[in-house]
Chains A and B, each alone.
Chain A
Amino acid sequence: MSQFILKRIVESLIVLFIGSMLCFIFIRMLPGDPAAALYGDQLQKMSEADRVRINENLGLNEPIFNQYGKWLSQVFHGEWGQSLSSGENVTTIVVQALQPTFMLMLSSHLIIFVLAIVFGIISGYFRKSFIDQAITVVSFLFMSIPSFWLAIILMLFFSVYLRVLPTSGIGNSNWGEFLRYIIMPSLVIALSHVGYYIRLLRNHIATSKESGFVFALKARGIPEHLILLNHLIPHAFIPFLSFTGMSIAVSLASSVLVETIFSWPGIGRLALKSALTHDYPVLLAVIMLSMFFVITVNLLVDLICAWIDPRIRTNFLEEGKK
């Protein structure tokens, strides 16, 4: 196990390294002159020599890999640079946006887990019954609805028609108030993803219900509900967990959209805003941070899976040897 953990951590670090390099080069390729963003209209009054000097001070005339090395060492010292548009420290801006996104992710995944586990298990266990068909139709429907449209519909219904929930923002620190603000954004993220989770659980339970080990359990006279509780549901846990790990990047991406629509002051909205205003230090920090988050979640998920199922770690280690 310790060998597996070590190998998996090293692998994640390599992925993080490659990813950070990709992001850095990618951001540098984007249009827009940092000097122009920093000085605005004043830049046109400056002489050519001044501009060259500014670029030298910013380190923009060095080879890109040197720039990357410099940036990396700064990052390791906790120095992410300054926002080009507001002049604030990038760290403070990003840290401020971190908590709302975290809360949003947490609450939406709570909703997803509850809905998916309940409906996925029912639908898989009573396969081809009326209730399975109904759940299938509804989950297909939610898979096909664009999440931004769902957001607008919910907003119209709850905020304009019923007037029970606020349309946008995050409210103050009061918890009850906060709950009212968070419910619609997290519902949108949850509903646009829950279909995939339900389908996954349904298919897994339906196929493993017909497999050999369930047949053997039935032969031994174990009651149906105990087979479901003690064998089928734990058996579906690993695929469910690793699917969660895989789709965390997708749900983070959809939070960009949802946060923009609901003016939720999180990472996603910050990403879109900084990309549209060419505020590259902020954009770079946001992309790096979400990448780090995704890689960490995947690492954790893999470790938990390998801890539960020894076959996964032996397979992994053997594949490395080939």
Chain B
Amino acid sequence: MIVKHSWMLKATSISFLILIVVTFMAPIFTPYEPQTVNMSKVLHPPDFMHLFGTDELGRDVLSRLLHGGQVSLLVGATAMFVSIIIGVSYGAISGFVGGFIDRVLMRFLDACLSIPSLILMIGLQLLFSQGLITIIFVISLTSWMPVARMIRTEIMVMKNDVFIQASKVVGATPIRLLYRHLLPQCWPTITIMAISGISHAILAEATLSFLGIGIPPHEPSWGNMLMDAQSHLLSGAWWLAFFPAMCIIITILAITSSGELLQDRFEGYKFRQVGKIR
């Protein structure tokens, strides 16, 4: 199926690619250090010296944005990866073993799902010290549940298919069935869930940092920058809030729309049937 609104996809993907490249080559592009304080140029609007202006300590917003982007994108990618691993193994075990174990695992999953995730994140965050590892851990611990549920349903549906029965007859072990036959079939689902997982993780990181319990305050991240910007908005320092927010929006927009495109490629509607109850 050809996607009509692909111009939007192209625009966002290209800007996202540029964003990734620029972010991870930040030291080349930024003339200033993200932590350098320059008290003679405080809250300076954008000009040619500081393209995106400076913040309340005279730090260059562009440099902080790029260095912060590294943190945000890193958190997004790793948290997604960890939550996919947890979710896929949980869902695969639950769907493949079935019976009583499946029921216990599913009730446990329902219980985890019914606790509002942000409250859980706040609580988990209190358990450990603030930092990058903690935040990745916290985000992935609160976002594996939908993945597990999707994978479980897929495996349940395929478990009794003819090709699985055939390989059972030939003598395939359960492990081989799972790794060689069932899980490869789940790739489309896993890819889609991974893509939405990245955007979820980036937003979660920004939210936690905004509440002041995410990335430690002195380190730049997009959420942190937005939190700092909050108190200077009234004095008209729009550039402090505008550029980090734009970075987040472009990133999420690119990720979601590319997810949508892939979904259409993988025979769209299959993944859209959220309404199918379990």
Contacts and interface: CB of A to CB of B under 8 A. Distances in A.
Interface in B197-256: 199, 203, 206-207, 210-211, 213, 226, 230, 233-234, 241, 245, 248-253, 256
Contacts of B98: 322
Interface stretch (B32-40, B80-88, B120-128, B169-177): B120-128
A221 interface: no
A250 interface: yes
B122 A271 contact: yes
B114 A305 contact: no
A30 B225 CA distance: 28
Contacts of A278: 126
Interface stretch (B43-51, B62-70, B268-276): B268-276
Given A15-B110, A15-B114, A249-B116, A30 B126 contact: yes
18 contacts: A18-B107, A19-B115, A22-B115, A27-B123, A133-B4, A143-B253, A144-B199, A144-B248, A146-B203, A146-B206, A200-B274, A204-B272, A238-B275, A241-B275, A253-B116, A253-B119, A287-B119, A312-B277
Given A143-B252, A149-B245, A298 B114 contact: yes
B30 interface: no
A135 to B, nearest CB: 10
Given A239-B273, A256-B116, 10 more contacts: A19-B114, A27-B123, A140-B257, A242-B274, A242-B277, A249-B115, A257-B210, A287-B123, A294-B114, A315-B277
Contacts of A257: 118, 207, 210-211
B8 A137 contact: yes
Sort A-B residue pairs by CB-CB distance and give the 7 closest, nearest first.
Answer: A239-B275, A19-B111, A144-B252, A253-B116, A253-B118, A18-B111, A294-B114
A143 B8 CA distance: 15
B25 to A, nearest CB: 24
A31 to B, nearest CB: 6
B115 A291 contact: yes
A160 interface: yes
Nearest to B275: A239
Interface of A: 11, 14-16, 18-19, 22-23, 26-27, 29-31, 128, 133, 136-137, 140-141, 143-149, 152, 156, 160, 200, 203-204, 207, 238-243, 246, 249-250, 252-254, 256-257, 260, 268, 271-272, 275-276, 278, 283, 286-287, 290-291, 294-295, 298, 302, 305, 312, 315-316, 319, 322
Judged by DSSP, the binding face of B is helix
B111 A31 contact: no
The prevalent SS among residues of A at the interface is: helix
Nearest to B125: A275
Contacts of B112: 19, 22
Contacts of B268: 203, 207
Contacts of B117: 249-250, 253
Contacts of B115: 19, 22-23, 249, 287, 290-291, 294
A70 to B, nearest CB: 21
A275 B118 CA distance: 11
A15 B106 CA distance: 9
Interface of B: 4-5, 8, 98-99, 107-108, 110-120, 122-123, 126-127, 199, 203, 206-207, 210-211, 213, 226, 230, 233-234, 241, 245, 248-253, 256-257, 260, 268-269, 272-278
Given A31-B126, A141-B253, A254-B118, A160 B234 contact: yes
Given A18-B111, A152-B230, A243-B274, A275 B122 contact: yes
B247 to A, nearest CB: 11
A204 B273 CA distance: 8
A37 to B, nearest CB: 13
Given A133-B5, A140-B8, A260-B211, A22 B249 contact: no
Contact of B119 (A140, A143, A290): A290
A141 B276 CA distance: 27
A22 B115 CA distance: 10
A177 B251 CA distance: 39
A23 B249 CA distance: 34
Contacts of A18: 107-108, 110-111
B100 to A, nearest CB: 11
A185 to B, nearest CB: 15
B226 A148 contact: yes
Given A133-B5, A137-B5, A156 B107 contact: no
Given A30-B127, A137-B5, A242-B274, A15 B107 contact: yes
